[in-house]
């Protein structure tokens, strides 16, 4: 993972510290890191969506979809899902 040194400053420029922020990534690991960085910057209403968009890689012998995730995550919990993001609803620094 390459860390964006301007991440906290970019979030501060867009969102006040009183805003509720839900942070997600593919598996939940990077978003957890981001939430911790924002908490250090005194954000008190910032949350990591556990397991991320797609969850963990399910390792199976002979799995032909090694990069696909079938365990956990938003998508595998039967929640609304699309690979197309509405840029009006999502902030991607």
Residue 31: its H or E element: helix 29-40
Nearest residue to 43 via CA among 23, 19, 17: 17
User: Which architecture does CATH list for 7-77?
Assistant: 3-Layer(aba) Sandwich (3.40)
Domains of the chain, by residue range, sit at 7-77
* pTM for the model: 0.72
Tens-level pLDDT at each residue, the chain (93 residues): 788 999 999 999 999 999 999 998 888 888 999 999 999 999 999 999 888 887 777 665 555 565 666 677 877 777 787 778 788 877 776
Q: Any residues with CB less than 8 A from the CB of 50 and at least 6 apart, and which?
A: 28, 72
Residues 27/54, Cβ–Cβ less than 8 Å: yes
């Amino acid at each position: 993972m390459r860390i964006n040194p301007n991440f906290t400053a970019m979030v501060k420029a867009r969102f006040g510290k009183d805003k509720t922020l839900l942070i997600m990534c593919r598996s939940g690991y990077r978003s957890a890191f981001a939430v911790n960085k924002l908490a250090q910057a005194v954000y008190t209403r910032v949350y990591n969506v556990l397991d991320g968009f797609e969850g963990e890689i399910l390792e199976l012998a002979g799995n032909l979809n090694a990069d696909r995730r079938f365990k956990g995550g938003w998508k595998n919990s039967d929640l609304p899902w699309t690979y197309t993001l509405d840029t009006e609803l999502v902030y991607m620094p």
